[in-house]
């Protein structure tokens, strides 16, 4: 977990550590349109406390740099693992920060939650990687069995459908798979190499790992993603990863983009 000491801010700690990376790890030059500032937020995973803190930091950062139009781009994984998934969605449903627009991408954990509502048998997988915590945030608790039987999964799926406010269900279903702003392409997990960005499959945008992470190809734009945890933001020539494992580390990361500038803000 990264901690700031003295007068050094969390963002300063991240930036100082990033400066130690080797030059070949730097992403190539890229920019967002003039007059636009983007704040991309990494995987939240039910950490309402960290999200509240980060949004305050973002609001302060924007106030210190007046002028551009500000946009929040959330990279998905709002639910699971942390204890406040319901509360995170409630916060995200509120109007954005004053003067901000907001775009919500879908993560694989939102997809798993939606799948469970449609196909209870898929809960065998979902419950193992955070679904239990999400259910508990909606007041639903199930026995701590390793493999719930089909009847229990059916009953739990019905209970979640009943407990899920309509606005929460609509939020989950209307999340986007990807977004392009200037020279950047935003997706939860990444992209499949050799496939045009406009033709990426939802499964790859939500779930891909090794084929994307180990690829040095130019994807046509810098891909900004979460999904794969690293101690620090990962900067490569073709991608920037900002999942710093908030649910376990207490470190939720935001990438701020303005013109050709890149900055990191973190809890």
Domain total for the chain? Answer: 1
Residue 13's pLDDT is 38
The percent of residues in the chain predicted with pLDDT above 90, rounded, is 84
pLDDT band, residue 29 (cuts 50/70/90)? confident
Query: Which CATH number characterizes residue 255's domain?
Result: 3.60.21.10
pLDDT above 60 (res 160): yes
pLDDT above 60 (res 155): yes
Q: Report yes or no on 87 lying in a domain.
A: yes
Classify each residue of 221-251 as buried b or exposed e, where b means 16 or more C-beta atoms within 10 Å of its C-beta. Answer: bbbbbbbbbeebbbbbebbbbbbbbbbebbb
CA distance 15 to 18: 5
Average pLDDT, the chain: 90
18 vs 210: which has the higher pLDDT = 210
| pLDDT, average across residues 186-198 | 97
Q: Report yes or no on 150 lying in a domain.
A: no
Residue 25's pLDDT is 54
Q: Report yes or no on 257 lying in a domain.
A: yes
Residue 146's pLDDT is 74
pLDDT band, residue 28 (cuts 50/70/90)? confident
The percent of residues in the chain predicted with pLDDT above 70, rounded, is 90
pLDDT above 60 (res 100): yes
Q: Report yes or no on 210 lying in a domain.
A: yes
| pLDDT, average across residues 231-249 | 97
Q: Which domain holds residue 100?
A: 35-107+166-266
| pLDDT, average across residues 168-193 | 98
Q: Report yes or no on 124 lying in a domain.
A: no
HSE toward the beta carbon, residue 36, CA cutoff 13 A: 17
pLDDT above 80 (res 198): yes
pLDDT above 90 (res 215): yes
pLDDT tens for 1-25 read: 233 333 333 334 344 444 333 333 5
Q: Report yes or no on 202 lying in a domain.
A: yes
pLDDT tens for 251-263 read: 999 999 999 999 9
pLDDT tens for 66-82 read: 999 999 999 999 999 99
Q: Report yes or no on 147 lying in a domain.
A: no
Q: Report yes or no on 157 lying in a domain.
A: no
């Amino acid at each position: 977990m990264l901690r700031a000491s003295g007068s050094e801010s969390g963002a300063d700690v991240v930036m100082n550590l990033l400066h130690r990376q080797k030059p070949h790890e730097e992403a190539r030059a890229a920019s967002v349109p003039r007059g636009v500032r983007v704040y991309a937020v990494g995987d939240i995973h039910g950490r309402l406390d960290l999200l509240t803190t980060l949004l305050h930091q973002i609001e302060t950062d924007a106030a210190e740099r007046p002028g551009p139009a500000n946009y929040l781009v959330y990279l998905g994984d709002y639910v699971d693992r942390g204890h406040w998934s319901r509360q995170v969605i409630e916060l995200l449903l509120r109007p954005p920060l004053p003067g901000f627009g907001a775009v919500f991408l879908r993560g694989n954990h939102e997809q798993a939650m939606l799948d469970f509502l449609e196909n209870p048998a898929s809960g065998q997988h979902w419950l193992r990687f955070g679904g239990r915590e999400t259910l508990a945030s909606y007041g639903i608790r199930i026995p701590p069995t390793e493999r719930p039987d089909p009847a229990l999964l059916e009953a739990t799926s019905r209970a979640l459908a009943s407990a899920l406010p309509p606005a929460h269900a609509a939020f989950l279903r209307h999340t986007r798979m990807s977004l392009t702003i200037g020279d950047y392409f935003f997706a939860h997990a990444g992209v499949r190499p050799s496939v045009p960005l406009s033709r990426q499959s939802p499964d790859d945008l939500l779930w891909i790992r090794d084929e994307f992470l180990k690829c040095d190809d130019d994807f046509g734009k810098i891909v900004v993603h979460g999904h794969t945890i690293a101690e620090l933001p990962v900067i490569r020539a073709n991608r920037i990863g900002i999942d710093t494992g908030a649910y376990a580390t207490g470190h939720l990361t935001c990438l701020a983009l303005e013109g050709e500038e890149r900055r990191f803000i973190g809890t």
